Amino acid sequence: MTGGTTEPGSQSLEPLFYPRSIAIIGASADPARISGKPIESLKAASFAGPIYPVNPRHQEVQGLACYPHIDAVPGPVDLVLVTVPAAGVVNALEASARKGARSAVIFSSGFAEVSESGAVAQARMSEIAATSGMRILGPNCMGLFNVRHKSYVTFSSAFLRAWPKPGPIAIISQSGAFGAHCFVMARERGFGLSHWVTTGNECDVDCAEALAYMADDADTGVILAYIEGTRRGDLLIDAFARARTNRKPVILMKVGRSTVGAEAAKSHTATLAGDDAVYDAVFRDLGVHRARTFQELFDTAKACAMGKFPRRGRVGIVTISGGGGILMADAAAEIGLDVPPMPEEAQRKLKKLLPYASPRNPVDTTAQALDDMSLAQRNLEIMLEEGDFDAIACFFASVGLSPQVGPKLRDAVIAACRGHSATPVLMAMAATPELIAELAAAGIAHFEDPVAAIEAIGALVRFGRAFERKLATPPALPAPRPAPSAGMLDEAASKALLGGAGIEFLADRLVRSADEAVAAAEMLGLPVALKLLSPDIAHKTEVGGVALGLNSPDAVVRAFDEMMMRVRTERPEARITGALVAPMITGGTEMMLGVQRDPVFGPAIMVGMGGIYAEVLRDVAFRLAPFGTDDAHELIGRLRGYPVLAGARGQARLDIDGLASALSRLSLFAAANAAWLDSVDINPIIVTPKSAVAVDALVVARLVNPDQRAHQRRHIQR
């Protein structure tokens, strides 16, 4: 059933997603109860395997033989559904493991999400999973279902009013309520589904593993996910990479972007949420679409279900409303899609067909096209054949509501698309549910809002490009450096460490007296900068620890003496190693590089424009370590201030290659030393037309806990 699964973890989820037999511990005769509903559903859906109710108080449950204990079940059990109260769950799991059950689902709540004792019980469940090999979904989840396999292991009653249609979309949600809502919304929109799974407290199986499974599942083509956070960044990254390799778009909502939101997220789950900017970097890096609204989630999924992911972004727009065409062209420009004119010859053809039309692109057929649908059809065919477009967006106002004209337009559009199946055609208009379903059946996604159709094309193109992107092999990591003692390293030590990693620093000299400072200044050439060196002072400027533009020996002496005096007065306790003398660098642009260890994903590398204005705007970009110079270039290119580097307004192009090289080397250093590295700040690094030279650096080491080494992120080929 599933594709080429290579990860051992994935194989072991098979009994959850394709169970051949299901036992229900705590089975109830009442289908209205949580412990009765799944039995009703499995029966109603005609699940093909044996269903074993387990309950010592019944002989028979909902017409099925009931067993007093899981041991008494006559056959092997792929999936045990545990519906007993929280206090009985561990016992039930232990018994199931003894019975040799291959997987378990736990609806019950009252564990890590409510109390410390609950967390202890939940830890016991994780242990049972680890030692027995029985995979456990939950606790505090709503279960799962497989549409084609008819295994409805959930107490949600949502689907009882209509079975889900089989189709390519899998829904994965950490939250049960969110998952149920997503399912209902998908059904309301007529989407076809493969799997639906809620992971709850994730004592064993988590959303990352479920995602990886769907990435390999042959029935699944599009993955919808809702996550609040994850503990296992490496698995999540692996799942995203796997989906990308298999050309399956992942569209997800990740909440907790704001401070208020993040606080609520913590109270809602017991998950350690990583920093949101790092999540964003991961999503972007792996081509995952992060949706901000349900509308965007489902609109994107609908477009993806067409299974066409162009790599270029040339959009043809056809409409009966000139204003609608402009609206869509505006939206396309805003998200970086092209709306190129039709070729001259094709324009002539369109004009001959429909004399009142604007044939350029957006093509405005005017309402004339509705009078003779063969003209509308031919118009669209010419656009598909001769426009060299990667996608076509149509906007036909409210025609889809007209009982006379709507069906004719539907037929014309479907006929035009026949034989042009490589090009996604998206239809925006107000339309009846029947018309929408008929268009969908013909592979034409429908949108009410024309701007939503354009945005969906933007998403398709982003996926197309992500799927095509060569998987970069990061360069080999350098040998790790011995862990320094925890805390801040001083500037000289920081620079030595990073300089050893291949990052170029401004040549400077360590001096311990005014005389040594003058000698150094004369050797380096005036003017120079003088900077205090102390392991106890992070922000030198605040204690007058930086003097710039010293252009005579006198000035150097004066600055050295003043600096020492002031520091001894203001920070008498600070150890002073001496001072650094460095040449002044003129011109160029200040940038910042940095490393921040993310608790979930490991070291994240930052590049940002420097200077106070850029800092105020937070013009920064993140990527996980390690990466090569190509990825470093891509990262730098994301900065809004990038044109400053590339040579805006007649200025010379700066040494972006040098900056990219420093960035990549920093990422390799961070990955190699993830065991002890907490953070790095290189601020500024000055980029001139000829070089990218770091001026100042601060490395912070953390307390190394031997346990944590085991949790270091694996470096996956992406």
Given candidates 522, 643, 709, 714, which one binds a second copy under the rule CB under 8 A?
643
Residue 493 touches a second copy, criterion: CB under 8 A: no
Residue 368 touches a second copy, criterion: CB under 8 A: no
Given candidates 30, 60, 71, 188, which one binds a second copy under the rule CB under 8 A?
188
Among candidate residues 448, 401, 411, the one with its CA nearest the CA of residue 427: 448
Give alpha helix (H) positions in 217-315. 233-245, 259-268, 276-285, 294-304
x/- letters, 412..431, toward a second copy (CB under 8 A): ------------------x-
Residue 119 touches a second copy, criterion: CB under 8 A: no
x/- letters, 191..230, toward a second copy (CB under 8 A): -----------------------------------x-x--
Question: Collapsing DSSP states into helix, strand and coil, what is residue 219?
Answer: coil
Asked if residue 580 lies in contact with residue 254, where contact means CB atoms within 8 angstroms, the answer is no
Separation of alpha carbons 1 and 191, rounded Å? 21
Q: Which tokens is 558 given?
A: 């004066």
Give kind and range of the element (H or E) at residue 573. Answer: none
Asked if residue 118 lies in contact with residue 146, where contact means CB atoms within 8 angstroms, the answer is no
Minimum gap (Å) between residue 447 Cβ and a second copy: 10
Residue 90 touches a second copy, criterion: CB under 8 A: no
Minimum gap (Å) between residue 280 Cβ and a second copy: 13
Q: What are phi and psi of 166, to 5 degrees?
A: -65, 140
Q: What are phi and psi of 670, to 5 degrees?
A: -65, -40
Answer whether the bond into residue 684 is a cis peptide, omega within 30°: yes
Minimum gap (Å) between residue 336 Cβ and a second copy: 11
Q: Which tokens is 544 given?
A: 């007058």
Residue 88 touches a second copy, criterion: CB under 8 A: no
Residue 371 touches a second copy, criterion: CB under 8 A: no
Residue 543 touches a second copy, criterion: CB under 8 A: no
Asked if residue 550 lies in contact with residue 556, where contact means CB atoms within 8 angstroms, the answer is yes
Minimum gap (Å) between residue 678 Cβ and a second copy: 23
Q: Which of residues 164-183 bind a second copy (CB under 8 A)?
A: 174-175, 177-178, 180-181
x/- letters, 504..533, toward a second copy (CB under 8 A): ------------------------------
Minimum gap (Å) between residue 642 Cβ and a second copy: 8
Separation of alpha carbons 532 and 510, rounded Å? 10
- Burial class from Cβ neighbours inside 10 Å (0-12, 13-18, 19+) for residue 286 reads buried
Q: Which of residues 324-343 bind a second copy (CB under 8 A)?
A: 324-327, 329-334, 339
Given candidates 34, 65, 158, 442, which one binds a second copy under the rule CB under 8 A?
158
Q: Which of residues 648-667 bind a second copy (CB under 8 A)?
A: 648-649, 651
Residue 609 touches a second copy, criterion: CB under 8 A: yes
Q: How far apart are the first and last CA of the chain?
A: 26
Among candidate residues 367, 384, 372, the one with its CA nearest the CA of residue 314: 384
x/- letters, 582..601, toward a second copy (CB under 8 A): -------x------------
How many CA atoms are closer than 13 Å to the CA of 504, on its beta-carbon side? Answer: 13
Q: Which of residues 265-304 bind a second copy (CB under 8 A)?
A: 265, 267-269, 292-295
x/- letters, 247..266, toward a second copy (CB under 8 A): ------x-xxxxxxxx-xx-
Asked if residue 654 lies in contact with residue 685, where contact means CB atoms within 8 angstroms, the answer is no
Q: Which of residues 228-247 bind a second copy (CB under 8 A)?
A: 228
Separation of alpha carbons 352 and 359, rounded Å? 10
Please work out, in degrees rounded to the nearest 5, the angle formed at the alpha carbon of residue 32 by the alpha carbons of 30 and 34: 90
Minimum gap (Å) between residue 328 Cβ and a second copy: 8
Candidate segments 415-423, 494-502, 508-516, 615-623, binder of a second copy by CB under 8 A: 615-623
Question: Collapsing DSSP states into helix, strand and coil, what is residue 99?
Answer: helix
Minimum gap (Å) between residue 255 Cβ and a second copy: 4
* 97 versus 339: smaller Cβ distance to a second copy: 339
Residue 616 touches a second copy, criterion: CB under 8 A: yes
* 226 versus 560: smaller Cβ distance to a second copy: 226
Question: Collapsing DSSP states into helix, strand and coil, what is residue 659?
Answer: helix
Asked if residue 222 lies in contact with residue 304, where contact means CB atoms within 8 angstroms, the answer is yes
- Position of tokens 């394709």? 18
* 486 versus 646: smaller Cβ distance to a second copy: 646
Given candidates 398, 421, 551, 569, which one binds a second copy under the rule CB under 8 A?
398
Minimum gap (Å) between residue 88 Cβ and a second copy: 20
Q: Which of residues 451-480 bind a second copy (CB under 8 A)?
A: 451-452
Minimum gap (Å) between residue 593 Cβ and a second copy: 17
Q: How many CB atoms lie within 10 A of CB 471?
A: 10
Among candidate residues 596, 564, 576, 560, the one with its CA nearest the CA of residue 681: 596
